[in-house]
Amino acid sequence: RAEDTTIKFTLGWKTQGSDAAFFYAKDNGYFKEEGLNVVIDQGEGSGATVTRIMSGAYDAGFGDVNAIIQNASTRPQDAPVMVYMMWNQPPFAIVAKNASGIKTIKDFEGHTLGGAQGTPTTRLLPVFVHKNGLDGEKIKVSNMAPNLQEPMLIKGDIDAALVFNITSYFNLVLNRQDPDKDFKWFSFGDYGLDLYSNGVMVSRKLIASNPKAVAGLVRAINKGAIAVAKDQNAAMKAALNYDNLINVDVEKRRLQYSFEKLIVSPEMKDIGVGDVKDERMARAIGFIVEGYQLTRTPTPAEVFSREFLPPRAERELVYTAN
Amino acid sequence: MPVSDIRQKVWSGALIVLFFVAWELFCLMTGMSDLVLPRPSQIFVTLFEKFPILWPHIVQTLVTTMIGFVLGVALGVALGAVIGVSKTAYDTCYPLLVGFSSIPKVAVVPIFVLWFGSGTVPAVLTSLSICFFPIVVNIATGLATTEPELEDVLKALGASKLDILWNVGLPRTMPFFFASLKVAISYAFVGAVLSETVASNRGIGNVMMTASSNFNVPLVFAGLFVLAGLGVALYVLFSLIEGQVTGWATRKDNVIAT
Amino acid sequence: MPVSDIRQKVWSGALIVLFFVAWELFCLMTGMSDLVLPRPSQIFVTLFEKFPILWPHIVQTLVTTMIGFVLGVALGVALGAVIGVSKTAYDTCYPLLVGFSSIPKVAVVPIFVLWFGSGTVPAVLTSLSICFFPIVVNIATGLATTEPELEDVLKALGASKLDILWNVGLPRTMPFFFASLKVAISYAFVGAVLSETVASNRGIGNVMMTASSNFNVPLVFAGLFVLAGLGVALYVLFSLIEGQVTGWATRKDNVIAT
Amino acid sequence: MIPLIFNGSAAGIQLACTLLVMRMQPNSEFAGEPMAAGSVPTAIELSEASVTFGRGARAVPALSKTTLRIADGEFVALVGPSGCGKSTILRLVSGLARPTTGVVIVGGREVAARAMRVGMAFQNPTMLPWMTIEKNIMLPLKIVEPFRSQFRRLRKTEFRDKANALLEQVGLKGFGGRYPWQLSGGMLQRANLCRALIHEPRMLLLDEPFGALDQFTREELWGILQQLWMTHKPTVLLVTHDLREAGFLASRICVMSARPGRILDDSSVAFARPRTVAMTFEPDFVALNQKLRAFIVDARTAAREGA
Amino acid sequence: MIPLIFNGSAAGIQLACTLLVMRMQPNSEFAGEPMAAGSVPTAIELSEASVTFGRGARAVPALSKTTLRIADGEFVALVGPSGCGKSTILRLVSGLARPTTGVVIVGGREVAARAMRVGMAFQNPTMLPWMTIEKNIMLPLKIVEPFRSQFRRLRKTEFRDKANALLEQVGLKGFGGRYPWQLSGGMLQRANLCRALIHEPRMLLLDEPFGALDQFTREELWGILQQLWMTHKPTVLLVTHDLREAGFLASRICVMSARPGRILDDSSVAFARPRTVAMTFEPDFVALNQKLRAFIVDARTAAREGA
Ligand SMILES: Nc1ncnc2c1ncn2[C@@H]1O[C@H](COP(=O)(O)OP(=O)(O)OP(=O)(O)O)[C@@H](O)[C@H]1O
Ligand SMILES: Nc1ncnc2c1ncn2[C@@H]1O[C@H](COP(=O)(O)OP(=O)(O)OP(=O)(O)O)[C@@H](O)[C@H]1O
Ligand SMILES: [Mg+2]
Ligand SMILES: [Mg+2]
């Protein structure tokens, strides 16, 4: 039998429960079955996944589609292509402390928001403000590293934070807060910014040189995702296998959260997991072009390719929490 | 011999230029993507174009760094003097200081931010805490290795420990003090920028963070060049002072065989 | 006087313990949240409990750091010798090196990763690139300030420049070389951990990053303690060698007035 | 271009006196102290002082049970073979070293020579290399009271003039602004002497201050030193290898044995003052020299046989 | 406990000879060189060599147009007032300094003294502080061929024995394992001399090698040095302030003027060898001394009046 094709795969961040599909696929030999040797490395952020792939250091990774849009606008030849849209709901959200008195998005005016520079949530705030008719002049944004947002929110240095809900929710839990009771969540998806977010992307070079490998990769990950949706305990075993430092309780809840809030949606039930709706994607591209003041609007085909997706029937994901 | 001095300087300048030319050529020849390593020409162009925007950030970082640096030097000299003079202080402080220095400051910045809020204060503190150690080490070593004969000159006069420190220990240590300043000033910049990266609304660290999340790699490198430039500028400044203060130590006989 | 030597060491040990007790008390009295600054006792407990899990990471970081450190020392000594001996090299390299050092290595790590992939290689390179500068500076300064009288002893014998470097320059510089090692070893750890933080699946940097994104602050601090401990252990090792090699420089007369 | 020449007349010496403007200091350190056995108070007293360097097998006994008493205002020369502990005695007196056993009393107090204003010329003229000669020489004025308090005030120029006057006297006019490494061995030694004298000390500890000088410069400086002593009567302890020098300058000459040193002989020198170089060629003087020589030869032979 | 004693007999000297086992070296450097005017080849030649330190207003002329020719195997003593440029001449000859104007030829070649195996005893005995005395003394063997190549091989013990034998000769037996700062001034100077001799140099440059020694140790070493010279005839240039020393050791004495130095007088010393200390008290010897003294006094007066 021929040598396995090695694919260097970067995660979006440090090991998280929501990445379990990859670990599960690896542990159960799904990649091997496709003739692939997938090496999974931890990442530096879902935006950086794009850089890592563009530079050639990685062949594939789990990252933010909005970063692809941004790069597809300026370097269409280099930008990676999304081949499997995992999270079809945006995790971008603003979380406010109840004590700050913020009840509606109108209340952001006159308050300080903490944002991590460069994260889509922070970058898209002007679009959010514009779309919802708020006065941007009155909203103060303070920059800080992502892992400082929740502590500073709790401490009261900021009134609300521009976050990923899947990250921030559990950060608050870990900071011994009750994210549901003491905090108010404003999801971008609910306020007119109906964006896509993280998924599996590959380099154009890999698509050109080894389309079979790409298809195999997607197939294996799809299998992993569907399996994990059924059995999160097995998923956590695989994650623990990859990184024994994780906090299993929290990561399991994070995995479940990702299904509940980001993956399972009416759209997914309609078109299956991994695919996108082109008109929604076009709209999303429009938001990004507006928010990042891009000069060129890429087409959905430049950003997402459904060429490698398994047939619709194989992409029937049923989530059961256990 | 001022003529040969000038030739010397020109020669060094040429070598530095050569470095950048080599870099440029390397990038061109290997077809390096500017996402990985931009060419110096790109960087300089970006720097030039964005300079008006960068300027307030440069000032911010420079001011922060200088405050941290000055405090760091003061702390470093004081601690170095204590360690260099007292054996107990040596045995106690050195392990603690080495331990503290082995800790990446990235891990400490968040604590500063939570205590003092984001912005200038943590940047100053980070800058201070990263730059004082080389000074401590060199001052302490300089004092500990001061020739007893030199100290005896003052001791025989009944001079106090402070007198000896002031008149013998510190002057003797000057060449190595200036050496450590070169390390300290670079690290002071690193510290300030680090803190700005973690939590700040201004400063080069902030600019670089934004640029990097924008995939504007030339701007990131422009920021790095600004930092390098500031570091070198301060190095040159200290070199001038150093020339005045430590000339005695680098004397070479005017008439010397090769 | 071995008895007073022992008393000395005990005294220093007591002061170090005191430091941790003070920290513990400070946290208890101010009711500091362990999410900001855990108590040493919590940290030690975490360290103890997690030690089996931490162990392979410790080994990874230690090995990486040591490779980077050894290479850094070699590079530092070589560059320092060149800079200390040649005026042109001094004028050329110093600005470049100061410039390079003023650049936060955090910004350089991604470049290493893009070139060499994540893992050990970028960590070694980061460690190397962060730790060689203090050595360069001290070796260069030591050589430049070597008393011409000492060199004359060899010059009069018709010794080559290399002979002089080997027999006079380097031995004379040893105390400051060891001083710079103290700085270099700490920074070598910082560099390796930094790189592990950005791009690695193993090592203490990775552990700390994971822990910190889980807000497991005691584990973050356990990682910091491990780093500090490793730094101090190597410092102690070098101190022992230093005592052998540079005793001549720190001599104090056996019979001395206070 | 050494500006002073000693030619037996007192011309040079007078210049010396006008330049070395030493105010007479009442010997306040001794007011109220119990008097020593003699009528003159004791400035320096070593009682059975021994010094051993190092420990165990590598121990070097440098000085063995030395007893020496020097009255206030005496001029004592110390001669003896190389390595016998002469410099060690000076270090004991100046408080730079402590005796391993025995007692050293200086200015009525144990150990500390600080009770008295001491001027010390080290055997190896250690000038601080980062200071010009002038600044090196002014160092004692920066440290020692009462000059110290005056130093910061107006008197800096005055002090500089004083340093330069001293330099001129020892033939180093115009070298005040140079750095130590720009001077020859002999010139450094002369600068070293200036540093010992500038703060008008009550006690002078001179360790071969003229060793690196040619005979003539040396004799010139003998004259200056003698005049200085006759005017202000500081207590002087001079280590020298030159028996003529000892005879010319000292009121008492102590001969030391080979290492570990002891005082073998202690003779007074009776020649009238001011002594002249010409006197050193006179028979009486030569006889003293011969007597001392014989002593040292005996001591050396004894040491060899004892060993 | 100085083990050797010079008492006029040749006992000490014989010991010296057996210990300083110097193999005769054919003076190969001169094979094929054009012969100088005399029948003996020239070892050292200074032609109108001047040295000025510094530039501009601060320039110090140290040596002015000095011409000096020393034949191979000659023993020349250089005397003169402090700061006149004696050490500078040695530095010129050893290649440590270059003349500002004029030419210095050593061993037939310009500038480089490296053509010859040179042993230099510096005025200030600079021992490397990180080495024991023994290692310091063995330094030339580590650097100079043919010893250098042998050093790494078996001969290290042999070399160490050699160093210790030399140390014993100068009275430093047992001090080989000590560090420089553990020695007294005179002991260091003796170690310094050993370092100049250990590699059996063809040319010896000695800058006041006995300055810090007492008269007896000094005379002992005179004897050793004389014997060494008589056996192997190295070219020796000795700087000294002691006219008796110059007379005892040298075949020729050059008197230098005050700074900037020139050679004022160049006299041969005719006394038969081996000379003894007793001879230095004989009238002829004393007369030579007086003659030289007069010369120097004249030169000094002239220098003063000229200034
Ligand atoms: N710091 C030291 N450590 C060990 N031994 C020492 C130290 N200082 C001096 N000695 C030893 O003490 C002895 C006496 O030394 P000292 O300097 O007093 O001699 P000295 O009489 O001044 O000799 P010289 O005339 O040669 O200067 C010497 O044998 C020397 O080796
Ligand atoms: N490196 C230097 N820079 C400037 N001047 C110097 C330097 N070295 C020596 N000189 C000057 O050169 C002159 C001659 O010095 P040199 O050392 O040759 O004197 P010397 O004859 O050996 O005197 P001594 O007998 O005192 O040792 C002195 O006036 C000295 O000040
Ligand atoms: Mg002495
Ligand atoms: Mg000299």
pLDDT on residue D304: 60
DSSP secondary structure, D65-127, as one string:
EEEEEEETT-EEEEE--TTSSHHHHHHHHHTSS--SEEEEEETTEES-GGGS-EEEE-SS---
What the block records as the tokens of E84 is 């006149």
Is the CB of D82 within 6 Å of ligand 1?
Answer: yes
Atom of ligand 1 nearest to the CA of D86: 21
Give A294-297 contacts, CB < 8 A, sequence gap 24+.
A294/A69, A294/A70, A294/A73, A294/A74, A295/A73, A295/A74, A296/A73, A296/A74, A296/A76, A297/A73
Q: How far is the CA of E80 from the centre of ligand 2 (A)?
A: 12
Size of interface A-C (CB pairs under 8 A): 59
pLDDT tens per residue across all 322 residues of chain A? 457 889 999 998 888 999 999 999 999 999 999 999 999 988 888 888 898 898 888 999 999 999 899 889 888 888 999 999 999 999 999 999 998 889 999 999 999 999 887 788 888 888 899 889 898 889 998 888 888 888 889 888 899 999 999 989 998 988 888 999 999 999 998 998 889 999 999 999 999 999 999 999 999 999 999 999 999 999 999 999 998 888 899 999 999 999 999 999 999 999 999 999 999 999 999 988 988 888 899 999 999 999 999 999 999 999 998 8
pLDDT on residue E304: 60
CB pair distance less than 8 Å for A243 and C209 = no
Q: Where are the beta strands (DSSP E) in A169-314?
A: 183-187, 198-202
Cα(A50)–Cα(A66) distance, rounded to whole angstroms? 10
- Inter-axis angle of helices C120-144 and C105-116, to 10 degrees? 130
CB pair distance less than 8 Å for B154 and D181 = no
One-letter-per-residue 3-state SS of C111-128: HHHHHHCCCHHHHHHHHH
Facing D296 at nearest CB: one of E183, E216, E258: E216
Q: What is the pLDDT of residues E220-231, one digit of tens each?
A: 899 999 999 999
Sheet with strand A5-10: strands edge to edge = A36-41, A5-10, A60-64, A198-202, A81-84
Nearest CA to ligand 1 atom 30: E183
Is the CB of E215 within 6 Å of ligand 1?
Answer: no
- Helix H or strand E encompassing A41: strand A36-41
Give A277-286 contacts, CB < 8 A, sequence gap 24+.
A280/A194, A280/A196, A281/A196, A283/A194, A284/A65, A284/A66, A284/A69, A284/A194, A284/A195, A284/A196, A285/A69
- Residues of C with a Cβ under 8 Å from any D Cβ are 148, 253-257
Facing C214 at nearest CB: one of A42, A174, A176: A174
Q: Which residues of B touch D183 (CB under 8 A)?
A: none
CB pair distance less than 8 Å for D124 and B149 = yes
The residue type at D277: V
CB pair distance less than 8 Å for C212 and A147 = yes
Angle at A126 between CA A120 and CA A128, to 5 degrees: 80
Residue A37's beta-bridge partner residues? A6
A127 and A287 in contact (C-beta within 8 Å)? yes
Q: What is the pLDDT of residues D133-188, one digit of tens each?
A: 999 999 998 888 778 877 777 677 888 888 999 999 888 888 899 899 889 999 99
CB pair distance less than 8 Å for D96 and B152 = yes
- Per-run averaged pLDDT (10 residues), chain B, 258 residues: 71 87 90 82 92 92 94 94 87 88 86 83 91 92 89 88 90 91 91 86 86 83 91 90 82 44
| Smallest-distance ligand from the CA of E261 | 2
Mention every residue, 6+ apart, whose C-beta is less than 8 A from residue E267.
Answer: E252, E253, E255, E288, E291, E292
Give A96-99 contacts, CB < 8 A, sequence gap 24+.
A96/A159, A96/A160, A96/A183, A96/A184, A96/A186, A97/A153, A97/A154, A97/A156, A97/A159, A97/A160, A97/A182, A97/A183, A97/A184, A98/A182, A98/A183, A98/A184, A99/A156, A99/A182
pLDDT on residue A96: 94
Cα(C196)–Cα(C191) distance, rounded to whole angstroms? 9
What stretches of E3-152 show up as alpha helix (H) in DSSP? 11-19, 86-94, 133-143, 147-151
Cα(D126)–Cα(B148) distance, rounded to whole angstroms? 11
CA distances from D267 to A225, C169, D244, E149 (A): 108, 50, 14, 56
Q: How far is the CA of E302 from the centre of ligand 3 (A)?
A: 36
Q: Which parts of chain E register pLDDT below 70?
A: 1-39, 111-115, 154, 300-307
The residue type at C89: A
Nearest to B243 by CA among B185, B174, B180, B186: B174
Size of interface B-D (CB pairs under 8 A): 60
| Smallest-distance ligand from the CA of D217 | 2
Instruction: Enumerate neighbours of E (3 or more CB pairs within 8 A).
Output: B, C, D
Nearest CA to ligand 2 atom 4: D182
Is the CB of D87 within 6 Å of ligand 1?
Answer: yes
Interface check B33 vs A, CB under 8 A: yes
Q: Which residue bears the tokens 């010390």?
A: D120
Angle at A249 between CA A245 and CA A253, to 5 degrees: 120
Instruction: Enumerate neighbours of B (3 or more CB pairs within 8 A).
Output: A, C, D, E
Mention every residue, 6+ apart, whose C-beta is less than 8 A from residue B107.
Answer: C208, C212, C220, C223, C224
Whether the bond between D146 and the residue before it is cis, its omega within 30 degrees of 0, is yes
Cα(D208)–Cα(D291) distance, rounded to whole angstroms? 21
Q: How far is the CA of D279 from the centre of ligand 1 (A)?
A: 33
Cα(B214)–Cα(A119) distance, rounded to whole angstroms? 10
Nearest to D12 by CA among D22, D21, D3: D3
Q: Which residue bears the tokens 């044995």?
A: D257
Q: Up-side HSE of residue A56: CA atoms within 13 Å toward CB? A: 12
Nearest CA to ligand 1 atom 27: E185
The pLDDT of D73-94, averaged and rounded, is 90
Length of chain E: 307
What the block records as the tokens of A126 is 């002007």
Length of chain A: 322
Angle at C86 between CA C84 and CA C89, to 5 degrees: 95
Interface check C199 vs A, CB under 8 A: yes
pLDDT on residue B126: 92
Nearest to A37 by CA among A6, A80, A59: A6
CB pair distance less than 8 Å for D54 and C254 = yes
Cα(E20)–Cα(C210) distance, rounded to whole angstroms? 73
Q: Say whether the A–D interface has 3 or more Cβ pairs within 8 Å.
A: no
pLDDT on residue E113: 55
- Ligand 2, pocket residues at CB < 6 Å: B 253; D 181-187, 212; E 53-54, 60, 62, 82-88, 123, 259
Atom of ligand 1 nearest to the CA of D91: 18
Cα(B170)–Cα(C183) distance, rounded to whole angstroms? 20
C177 and C91 in contact (C-beta within 8 Å)? no
pLDDT on residue C255: 37
pLDDT on residue E36: 43
Q: How far is the CA of D82 from the centre of ligand 4 (A)?
A: 21
Q: Which residue bears the tokens 């106090």?
A: B160
Q: What is the pLDDT of residues C199-254, one digit of tens each?
A: 778 889 888 888 887 788 888 899 999 999 999 999 999 888 888 888 777 776 44
Cα(E199)–Cα(E143) distance, rounded to whole angstroms? 10
* C-chain residue closest to B253, CA distance: C148
Judged against a pLDDT cut of 70, whether residue C4 lies above it is answered with no
Cα(E209)–Cα(D154) distance, rounded to whole angstroms? 46
Cα(B81)–Cα(C120) distance, rounded to whole angstroms? 39
Residues E12, E14, E19, E22, CA torsion sign: positive
Taking the alpha carbons at both ends of chain D, their separation in whole angstroms is: 49
What the block records as the tokens of D117 is 């204003």
pLDDT on residue E12: 39
Taking the alpha carbons at both ends of chain B, their separation in whole angstroms is: 16
Residue E261's beta-bridge partner residues? E63
Phi, psi of A102 (to 5 degrees): -80, 120
Instruction: Kindly tell me the burial class for residue E32, based on how many C-beta atoms sit within 10 Å of its own C-beta (0-12, 13-18, 19 or more).
Output: exposed
The pLDDT of D15-34, averaged and rounded, is 38
Nearest to D295 by CA among D271, D267, D269: D267
What the block records as the tokens of D188 is 């450094």
Is the CB of D20 within 6 Å of ligand 1?
Answer: no
Q: Can you tell me the ipTM of this complex?
A: 0.84
B158 and D114 in contact (C-beta within 8 Å)? yes
Q: How far is the CA of A159 from the centre of ligand 1 (A)?
A: 76
Atom of ligand 1 nearest to the CA of D123: 27
Q: What is the pLDDT of residues D232-284, one digit of tens each?
A: 899 999 999 888 899 999 999 999 888 778 888 888 888 888 888 888 888 88
Size of interface B-C (CB pairs under 8 A): 203
Q: How far is the CA of D184 from the centre of ligand 4 (A)?
A: 5
Q: What is the pLDDT of residues C112-128, one digit of tens each?
A: 877 787 778 889 999 99
**E-interface mutation test, from D1, D60, D82, most E Cβ less than 10 A away:** D82
Q: Say whether the E–D interface has 3 or more Cβ pairs within 8 Å.
A: yes
Mutate to test the pocket of ligand 2, among D182, D214, D217 (most ligand atoms within 8 A of CB): D182
Closest Cα in chain A, distance from residue B118 (Å): 8
Closest Cα in chain E, distance from residue D74 (Å): 23
CB pair distance less than 8 Å for C255 and D95 = no
Is the CB of D211 within 6 Å of ligand 1?
Answer: no
Q: Where are the beta strands (DSSP E) in chain D?
A: 42-53, 60-71, 75-79, 101-106, 109-110, 118-121, 203-207, 235-239, 252-256, 263-268
CB pair distance less than 8 Å for D140 and B152 = no
Q: What is the pLDDT of residues C30-84, one digit of tens each?
A: 888 888 888 999 999 999 998 998 999 999 999 999 999 999 999 999 999 999 8
D120 and E224 in contact (C-beta within 8 Å)? no
Cα(B69)–Cα(B181) distance, rounded to whole angstroms? 9
